[in-house]
Structure 1
Amino acid sequence: MRLLALGDSYTIGTGVPPEDRWVDRLVERLRNDGVDADAPQIVAADGWTTGRLAAAVERRSLEPPFDLVTLLVGANDAYQGRPVEAFRTNFVAMLERAVEFAGGDPADVVVVTIPDYSVTPYCETEGCEDHDERLAAYDRAVREEADAAGTRLVDVVDVSRAVAADPSLVAADGLHPAPEQHRRWMEEVYPVARAVLDR
């Protein structure tokens, strides 16, 4: 099984060791279930917008098709205040590339919703006014476009909001997910990934 994970800090695991990020936990879980899985190929970095992710993908020598492609991006577009329609345009283009990497089969692509960073301790001190409204609009765009493309969707918004009651779910920077939150995300992604592989 070859997995390609596209995204930003939430995929590369800013603030946690590589073995604790949800992508690597997913591969480990699949291996424990007997799946012959390669190490995940990850194209992601802290601070990447959809546009920067797209540019990075073009610079990488990737070899499709991949058995499973995940896409989690948009938080930095929202943080920078980009209009939702501008984000939607870039997201659709990135989603199309993800489908191409999956050999043209949208059912092999798993879109992960954008976590709600507005409830983190970082936003309490730095101020993220109107970010919750923007994130809600982004969330609708992600869901609509994933549905229109025929890809699969995993919702981690509610899991991300649990940090409001449990700060231990946030890494030391007060913004990014701690290992336990990554584990919970993996638990949400896992059954969908299995559905892809078991077809």
Structure 2
Amino acid sequence: MSHIETLAKILLGPLLLMQGLYTRRITPKLPEAEGERQGVAGSGDALRLLIVGDSAAAGVGASTQDEALSGRLVSRLAADYQVSWKLLARSGLDSQALLALLEQHAPEPFDVVLLSIGVNDVTSTLALDQWLARQQRLMTLLCDKFAVKQIVLSPLPPMHLFPALPQPLRWYLGYRARRFNAHLADLAQRVDQCTMLTIRLAPEAGLMASDGFHPGPQIYGQWADDAAEVIDRRFRISRQ
């Protein structure tokens, strides 16, 4: 734990805890996006895509999967590939729960996985080194059990800008999210199969979901554009 984080917990601990409980109580619980969670789309070279993660991967903030991350990403990739895709995501998942979900799932081969996980780790008391160890376990599991050749990591969102969070909780979670991101980027650089997206999904007014915490359809579109570009570039190189 960093000195800043330790000091914040000592000085602000009770306040941060109260604000966290209050925010959880008053924030509207939005449903996951409705629609199919697997399918085949497009024509061209075969591309097997797995999308895994938490509420953002599950499309909370969009009414249908077509407007959410999975639908937007499949739509982009289907312009050039025959995409066989599957979505494994659930609201509330942290890294440990996602590991458990993937461990229970039958082995199935995919070329690419898009990973969206970490917000529920940041909002917990999980230490950075424990989180990184879980990210490494996720990567190993995806490569070994699902034969994944390319892992695309989504950065944690800029939580210091989330309108749903009061200060100083917003500052504290934003600080943790930035630290987690910096170390995740270092990890991604050391793992050949990994690419970390660089898009800054800034929560601009009107683009967030009504809970002030999740992306809206336009942000999901930007996220999908960035991911599709990375997937396409890496996939073409791997086929040469």
1:186 and 2:230 aligned? no
Q: Among residues 11, 14, 21, which one is paired with 2:57 in the alignment?
A: 11
Residue 104 and residue 67 in structure 1: after superposition, are their counterparts in 2 closer, same or farther (change >3 A)? Answer: closer
The answer to whether the 8 Å contact 2:151/2:195 transfers is yes
Runs of 4+ in structure 1 off by over 2 angstroms are: 98-105, 124-129
1:97 and 2:171 aligned? no
Deviations 1:87-120 (A, max 9, x none): 1111111121222355263xx2211211123312
Instruction: Give RMSD over aligned pairs.
Output: 1.8
How does 1:18-57 map onto structure 2 within 5 Å? 18-33=65-80, 35-38=81-84, 40-57=85-102
* Separation (CA, whole Å) in 2 of partners of 1:175 and 1:5: 20
How many residues matched?
189
**Cα drift, residue 142 of structure 1:** 1.0
Residue 18 and residue 7 in structure 1: after superposition, are their counterparts in 2 closer, same or farther (change >3 A)? Answer: same
SS of the aligned residue for 1:27 comes to helix
Relative contact order (alpha carbons < 8 A, sep ≥ 6): 1 or 2 greater?
A: 1
The answer to whether the 8 Å contact 2:159/2:170 transfers is no
Identity percentage over the alignment? 22
SS of the aligned residue for 1:99 comes to helix
Structure 1: runs of 5+ lacking an equivalent: none
Task: Report the residue type matching 1:189 in the other structure.
Answer: A
* Separation (CA, whole Å) in 2 of partners of 1:191 and 1:104: 18
Deviations 1:6-48 (A, max 9, x none): 2111211112121111222111112123x1112x211211111
**Cα drift, residue 185 of structure 1:** 0.8
Greater C-alpha Rg? 2
Please give the TM-score of this superposition, normalised by the length of structure 2: 0.73
How does 1:57-136 map onto structure 2 within 5 Å? 57-64=102-109, 66-101=110-145, 103=147, 105=149, 108-124=150-166, 127-136=169-178
